[in-house]
Amino acid sequence: KELVLVMSVAAARWRALVVRFDTRRAVQVRGFQDVELNSVIGSLEEIIRLDEEEGTDTWGRLGDLIRRLMRRARARDSNAHHALDSLTSLFDFLASRRAEYLYEFARSGYKAFNRSFNVYGLCESLLRIC
């Protein structure tokens, strides 16, 4: 939390080099992309603010879910690519705050965990930053 808050007030533009994957048949690296993170940091800051004001534990639940998705993405089963798609959609949502990416995040996560992806409350909280 502290790092996100410090980054949000810094007079800087935050950038990262990310890997792009194709997950249609098998997970394959499709290239690299330079991404500006300022909008993601702003979204995370808003989640932290709402969390502190309302005590929803959205920050903690989001962190736990990201860790679960990362473990699933590393698994050697047929649903691993759905976890990767879900993480990508979550990043896209945080970058754009567009609800359709949140839907794609939930849908891919639902597939990744064989229909046991209970994120209704988390998605409801995340929609508040749109």
pLDDT in tens, 1-10: 999 999 999 9
- The answer to whether 41 touches 4, Cβ cutoff 8 Å, is yes
Residue 26 clears pLDDT 70, i.e. is over it: no
Question: pTM of whole model > 0.95?
Answer: no
pLDDT in tens, 44-102: 999 999 999 999 899 999 999 999 999 998 888 778 889 989 999 999 999 999 999 99
Query: At 116, is the pLDDT very low, low, confident or very high (cuts 50, 70, 90)?
Result: confident
Least confident range from 17-21, 24-28, 68-72, 91-95: namely 24-28
- The answer to whether 48 touches 40, Cβ cutoff 8 Å, is no
Q: What are residue 22's DSSP bridge partners?
A: 28
